Structure 1
């Protein structure tokens, strides 16, 4: 709750930014990037001082790999170093935003007033004012009921349109897992006995990995090198090399569903089986079975506690939680609990284990330091999942529209823990088609809130700690989100006072670097010159596709009447000559002003020719926009058109009524 007060004090401009981007307070390791090759151009950092803060910026670009496709951007690392101008002490735990925009050849540096205005437009998120290099990349990913993943961009204020991409994965998904470097997402597809690999740069399914029968749970090992997949119909667990995206082992561990946990800093994997009576220990590096522990048939969730240095296994058949010694590989303790065991999860400290009882409507909280149930909470409505921030445990109730927040600081001692119930949406999750196995709640990167999948409401709810209702709602465009995940590539503190992220640059030239700091509130603009980028990467000036309308953009359409809108998309000469496919294209229609919007994949009528049938619901002005993410063409970069719509004449409406009668 304390953090919410800090946020409110930072000013209206930065509060607006909080709805768009996320930060994390603790220093975090930079994503795994190849640093073996020298940068393209080495230049000293540029610096500026505002509000008693010294800001230094540098951008280190790496040569484009030989295997990169023609036209690919150049990758690099952007860094802001913040120090107190008087003492030189690093400024830690701050929230920062940054952008780079290419300067016109005849333009000069931005003065303070122009710099502030530029930052204000960026915070608005309008497509027309997006920076060439956005250092605050931030998306919500949803796992949907219709064999798709939604990529929702909360940074774009395009009326209420925030759907960035819709990814088809080739079948209904059982589970998903984000690779450690955030380059790809693994989704298990039971009907195809496969794992689909979703490229998180282009938001496309790029390949399929064949595994065992009916894959379910997927978990990425702590070192990020392998992913472990439960094959629920053949008694095996597949191990996938996350670099090659290929199965490298299939371990026979017993029939039924499997759960996976990692101990000893990720060196050992522990695998359960619902149809066998043993817990299997596997060496992660060699994938050799180290031994088994008898835990009884029907073992459920498994989790590792860094505090107890033990593996915790939920055993529904005996109504116990078993503690397994990882060295002796034997059960060292049995903790009796209530019947009806569900999910078992530890908080971030590794001390408090939350054991859910869906049928009983309760939650047992186990103190790993003492090896006993510290609290037995009641009053929940069929709880099925729990997610943690630093301050709270978020328990989803499936037969109620509320989420229960258990304050972690109140778990110490014998008093009753503080529980806050917050209503998220209109419908209970149980009213949806299926609840799925993946987490329906994800912690926001700034650490003081969550995003909640309102499955039956077909929406996402943004919640900030300290509030009694969601702070915002993101529609999921008619799809039921069974799970939600945050993909964060924004600036983060990687060492004391140094904030960094990946950056993609497509063109050489002089860039204005805009920077926003929350506390003290400071806006800074600096200059940075980029060189060494291959000419073919400059897609910002030369699009890979050319759009030609086959309809009359000035024609007046009629509300309620379907009109075919045909257009041609052909490769730009000298660039990728491969014809574009319908599944790569997103057509967006939205009304100005208003909240109505419609997205659709067009149909192919001839090579390069595409068509959609548009039925405007009412009179007004409608925008026709086309995007092709796989060709690096975001919505709004190709020519777009405004279509006027009028109401149908009264006589036409009357005749239509007569037909229906």
Structure 2
């Protein structure tokens, strides 16, 4: 097994910083199945070959409402790229950024912009930015009622887990909103959806879907909205992070439903199990067109030709439909039926999976033809994309498949088999395994989760073997999502990042482009403000532990919750969740602490063996995360049967 390690790839991605050459800018001189993070629609040729000396870069740092950025609060960092000769936006670029507090203007001026970018890109502790706009977090959706947050860049010695977001019930599906600000999780048994803020990673809303709705699959829409399948009523509803109730539902037909969405217009398409297909205007929540088809298996919106693509589980054909009338406009013959569809966000090519044959077809929908076919991972079910590769995860075998996108666009298909299991997996028809989304594109690569082995394999573009693994903590993981804190293109030529900036003062905003090689530094400022605008308002917590007991026996621990200002005990907290975990992360248990006296809460655990364990606490109602209070560590004395229990650890 590879060691758990994840290397920072920013330095490699901006390797041009190390090249010798003339400085490109002077300081302060103005100076539907996979999860796809696509740039806004733009011509593939738009500003593709614009040289560095023709690009105008402007930036601003502001609050979420467009006013000044305030210390302790959320900030938006907005960058625009323009071709100064044509005025056209420069699109489809990767921007890396850092913010440095200017503590000494003379020292800052003495170091060139390119030199600062080179130092920051290396990620050295001695050259650490005050605000790093390139990091990301991994979110793990667990069937045992929690979302785990993992920082893959940091080794906490006992665990990479940064916090746990408890859920009030078992989740079914999740999706990130189109603007990247919110992750929506559906909880069918409670008829709820949960909205999680991707910046501070806390639950910001519980959305009531209506009695008997049983919310299931989620499809992203533009802004902070999403479409949700209501399996209990065979309908579709819209949710957003700012509302505690869903929209009026629109009836479709018997569940399960298949959905797709046009983010530009907000139109949602849904197909019922009986083949009834509808187009829904989400502004009016009204059906604008419908039709009936047979054996639907997958649905995908194609922004290029402006068509809805539908695959069949029986017929080897991909059909295209007009979004307004749902009339069929074209059909593309294939070599096999379709079980899943995905869109290359850069070229607009369609990738179609044949699960039974373990093959993939690459389709040019605008030309109406298949340009390549070939084998992929055994029993393929999921496709994900990074900058330069597509990744195919299968239910069988011990590898996933990497496909170079440039080759696919040229009609060539050369599958690369990459290890993602220590031993071959057995294919399964378990709907949860088929539905799971375990590919998380991250920077110039991706992580592919293997819940059975409790790891995610870390793959960097261009390598034939994984770089290492990241622990994913448990076998109940049904989804993995990379929350990219970096710049996203929100409209052609406009790129935005979000951050919480803790200190006020003058800053230097350092930015580097991947192509062309361009480095720019510009001044920014953050106003003083009320400290803790985005800090946790929950109570301070102290932990009083009982004497350790022998391994395998129950042990009770107590915590006192106190008001941070007055020190008075905090009463009536009913969602104080306790996570106990082993140093390796192999064993973990969760429970809810009960109030046994005023402000005193107790929880009991039975540990599997002797050793050192961690205890972390959280409470959604008090906005208290596991990292807001220092974790507690306890030592359990070993017992004679530890050797036998070692073999039975989950």
- TM-score, normalisation: structure 2: 0.72
The answer to whether the 8 Å contact 1:459/1:481 transfers is no
Aligned-pair Cα RMSD in Å: 5.3
The answer to whether the 8 Å contact 1:429/1:455 transfers is no
Q: Which residue of 2 aligns with 1:480?
A: 476
Q: Which residue of 2 aligns with 1:60?
A: 62
Q: Which residue of 1 aligns with 2:166?
A: 168
Farther-moved stretch of structure 1 (517-526 vs 393-402): 517-526
CA shift digits 1:543-562 (9 cap, x unpaired): 8533334348xx89877776
CA shift digits 1:304-347 (9 cap, x unpaired): 22344322111234443222233554222333434553112222
Shift of 1:537: 4.5
Q: Which residue of 1 aligns with 2:414?
A: 418
Q: Is 2:544 the counterpart of 1:550?
A: yes
Structure 2: how far apart are the matches of 1:25 and 1:473? 23
Farther-moved stretch of structure 1 (323-332 vs 72-81): 72-81
Using a 3 Å threshold, how does the CA distance of structure 1 residues 458 and 124 change in structure 2: closer, same or farther? farther
Q: Is 2:441 the counterpart of 1:459?
A: no
CA shift digits 1:111-132 (9 cap, x unpaired): 999x99xx89995789xx9998
Q: Is 2:374 the counterpart of 1:377?
A: yes
Structure 2: how far apart are the matches of 1:413 and 1:57? 36
Q: Is 2:171 the counterpart of 1:182?
A: no
Q: Which residue of 2 aligns with 1:32?
A: none
Alignment of 1:607-646 (within 5 A): 607-611=598-602, 638=629
Structure 2: how far apart are the matches of 1:449 and 1:636? 28
Q: Which residue of 1 aligns with 2:142?
A: 144
Q: Which residue of 2 aligns with 1:42?
A: none
Shift of 1:498: 9.0
The answer to whether the 8 Å contact 1:386/1:395 transfers is yes
Using a 3 Å threshold, how does the CA distance of structure 1 residues 360 and 130 change in structure 2: closer, same or farther? same
Alignment of 1:222-621 (within 5 A): 223-224=222-223, 226-263=225-262, 265-276=264-275, 278-296=276-294, 298-326=295-323, 329-349=326-346, 351-378=348-375, 380-411=377-408, 417-427=413-423, 428=425, 430=427, 434-444=432-442, 446=443, 448-491=444-487, 501-505=497-501, 531-534=527-530, 537=533, 545-551=539-545, 564-574=556-566, 579=571, 581=573, 583-584=575-576, 600-601=590-591, 603-604=593-594, 605-611=596-602
The answer to whether the 8 Å contact 2:376/2:392 transfers is no
The answer to whether the 8 Å contact 1:139/1:153 transfers is yes
Using a 3 Å threshold, how does the CA distance of structure 1 residues 484 and 191 change in structure 2: closer, same or farther? same
Structure 2: how far apart are the matches of 1:386 and 1:439? 9
Please state whether the residue corresponding to 2:189 is helix, strand or coil: helix
The answer to whether the 8 Å contact 1:168/1:205 transfers is no
Using a 3 Å threshold, how does the CA distance of structure 1 residues 255 and 165 change in structure 2: closer, same or farther? same
Shift of 1:420: 0.8
Shift of 1:631: 5.3
CA shift digits 1:420-458 (9 cap, x unpaired): 1111122527479731524321322x3x21121213222
Shift of 1:465: 0.9
Higher Cα radius of gyration = 1
Shift of 1:299: 1.9
Shift of 1:265: 3.3
Structure 2: how far apart are the matches of 1:596 and 1:458? 8
The answer to whether the 8 Å contact 1:224/1:242 transfers is no
Please state whether the residue corresponding to 1:411 is helix, strand or coil: helix
Shift of 1:195: 2.5
CA shift digits 1:566-622 (9 cap, x unpaired): 33221122599854736445556776xx888867556234342234567595668x7
The answer to whether the 8 Å contact 1:124/1:157 transfers is no
CA shift digits 1:332-386 (9 cap, x unpaired): 2333434553112222146422221212222233221331333332464111122
Shift of 1:77: 2.9
Structure 2: how far apart are the matches of 1:111 and 1:616? 58
Structure 1: how far apart are the matches of 2:263 and 2:62? 35
Shift of 1:145: 2.7
Using a 3 Å threshold, how does the CA distance of structure 1 residues 441 and 625 change in structure 2: closer, same or farther? closer
The answer to whether the 8 Å contact 1:152/1:164 transfers is yes
CA shift digits 1:174-205 (9 cap, x unpaired): 32121234343222233334323334434237
Alignment of 1:37-186 (within 5 A): 59-61=61-63, 73-78=72-77, 96-98=96-98, 123=123, 135-136=133-134, 138-159=136-157, 161-186=159-184
The answer to whether the 8 Å contact 2:147/2:166 transfers is yes
Structure 1: any 5+ residue segments left out of the alignment?
A: 13-23, 30-53, 66-70, 84-89
Using a 3 Å threshold, how does the CA distance of structure 1 residues 558 and 627 change in structure 2: closer, same or farther? same
The answer to whether the 8 Å contact 1:279/1:293 transfers is yes
CA shift digits 1:184-241 (9 cap, x unpaired): 32222333343233344342374132246443321122x3364222233433222335
Shift of 1:419: 0.9
Q: Which residue of 1 aligns with 2:46?
A: none
Please state whether the residue corresponding to 2:406 is helix, strand or coil: helix
The answer to whether the 8 Å contact 2:76/2:498 transfers is yes
Structure 2: any 5+ residue segments left out of the alignment?
A: 1-8, 19-35, 42-55, 83-89, 645-650
Structure 1: how far apart are the matches of 2:588 and 2:223? 38
Larger RCO, structure (CA 8 Å, separation 6 or more): 2
The answer to whether the 8 Å contact 2:561/2:599 transfers is yes
Structure 2: how far apart are the matches of 1:25 and 1:355? 18
Structure 1: how far apart are the matches of 2:358 and 2:91? 46
CA shift digits 1:6-36 (9 cap, x unpaired): 5495799xxxxxxxxxxx999889xxxxxxx
Using a 3 Å threshold, how does the CA distance of structure 1 residues 515 and 372 change in structure 2: closer, same or farther? closer
- TM-score, normalisation: structure 1: 0.71
